[in-house]
Amino acid sequence: MKSCMVQGAKIISTGSATPSVKVSNEQMSSIVDTSDEWIFTRTGIKERRLLTKYGQSVTDLATRASLQAINNISMDPSSIDLIILATSSPNDLFGSASKIQYEIGAVNALAFDITAACSGFVIGVVTAFQFISNGTYENVLVIGADVLSKWVDWSDRSTCILFGDAAGAVIIQSCSSNLNSILNFHLSTDGNYADHLSIAYKEQLDPHPILNLYQGSFQYVSMNGKEVYKFAVSQVPLSIMSCLDKLNMSTEDVDWLLLHQANERIIMAVAEKLSISSNKVISNLSKYGNTSAASIPLALNEVVELNQISRNDIIVIAGFGAGLTWGTIILRW
């Protein structure tokens, strides 16, 4: 812990983990009435990874992604001050971050979960940034991880073809403010549309005979795809523009556009609205499907490993999804 002062923050390492089991669109068409042609043309997805091993959960993927980020820079896990796990598919409703803290040996870290679906990673990074910039913490591990395969109705073709399981992690470290790489952010929620995308808790009809209270269970993912699509294509460009405007930047200054990997048509429509050319768009959706909170750090780790990003590149990151919540971060790499 450090004393109160304004600090910069930068991403110093990345990691990711995916299950080994690949399920192609052709395989999906043996489960529900669909086709590779429908899935690929509507979404850009070719295959997804599913966590099929008995007893494995989001914690296992998140731990693997975290260890990769830690080992890439030979960091001592005990120097991590805070772990933020963005997930909407925890294996413990009280939170899964503390299990990861134990598994990676981050004995000095506070650990907690954030539930914000596909915007969770962006909100996690912004939260980490607050703790770093006010001088509270120096090293923060932010993980985006989801195993929505456990929450999907595998007989519902309108949702089950979309999702895949994965985890991605970044380590964010304080730095002098002139080296600050998180330049600006913007976050928004419109709860009026919460029902468009949810994993709702449903109460049983019969109450407890003595206490008269109702218990229940969580349902499957339900989504009004058309409405979520329209929301993403209209709100995400506005969020990005407001962030760039505040930095006196234009879309011409953007080197990379990294959006939540939900649908290739959404990604390209947003890029087109912003006049950002397709060769600046980061996309790995075809291989993994929509991995919810994991999609942004998973794609980021991939381009970092491929050495595609150069020092000082401007990266625009934007997440959107259930809530409905959306947000942008502008980074200088």
Which lies closer to ligand UT7 via its Cβ, residue 77 or residue 164?
164
For this structure, is 118 an active site residue? Answer: yes
Would you tell me how many other CB atoms lie within 10 Å of the CB of residue 88? 24
For this structure, is 290 an active site residue? Answer: yes
For this structure, is 4 an active site residue? Answer: no
Smallest distance, ligand UT7 to C-beta of residue 178, A: 36
Smallest distance, ligand UT7 to C-beta of residue 192, A: 17
Which lies closer to ligand UT7 via its Cβ, residue 237 or residue 321?
321
Smallest distance, ligand UT7 to C-beta of residue 315, A: 20
Q: Which residues contact 132 (CB under 8 A, 6 or more apart)?
A: 7, 8, 9, 138, 140, 172, 173, 174
From CA 315, how far away is CA 300, in angstroms rounded? Answer: 10
Which lies closer to ligand UT7 via its Cβ, residue 151 or residue 229?
229
From CA 254, how far away is CA 265, in angstroms rounded? Answer: 20
Which lies closer to ligand UT7 via its Cβ, residue 239 or residue 263?
263
Q: Nearest CA to 239 among 180, 319, 321, 300?
A: 319
Smallest distance, ligand UT7 to C-beta of residue 319, A: 9
CA 92 to chain centre: 19
Q: What is the DSSP string of 274-316?
A: TT--GGGB---HHHH-B-GGGHHHHHHHHHHHTT---TT-EEE
Which lies closer to ligand UT7 via its Cβ, residue 104 or residue 162?
162
Which lies closer to ligand UT7 via its Cβ, residue 36 or residue 313?
36
DSSP state for residue 208 in the 8-state scheme? P
Residue tagged active-site, from 25, 139, 180, 290 = 290
Smallest distance, ligand UT7 to C-beta of residue 271, A: 15
Pair 169, 297: CB distance under 8 Å = yes
Q: Which residues contact 174 (CB under 8 A, 6 or more apart)?
A: 2, 7, 8, 9, 132, 133, 135, 137, 138, 139
Pair 218, 151: CB distance under 8 Å = yes
Smallest distance, ligand UT7 to C-beta of residue 280, A: 21
Smallest distance, ligand UT7 to C-beta of residue 160, A: 8
Binding site for ligand UT7 (CB under 6 A): 34, 38-39, 42-43, 118, 157-158, 161, 197, 225-226, 228-229, 232, 262-263, 266, 290, 321
Residue tagged active-site, from 25, 186, 260, 263 = 260
Give Cα separations from 131 to 106, 110, 147, 325 (angstroms): 17, 12, 28, 21
Tokens of 16: 């990711």
- Upstream peptide bond of 274 is cis (omega within 30 degrees of 0): no
Which lies closer to ligand UT7 via its Cβ, residue 193 or residue 333?
193
SS3 211: coil
CB-closest chain residue to ligand UT7 = 225
Q: Which residues are annotated as catalytic?
A: 118, 260, 290
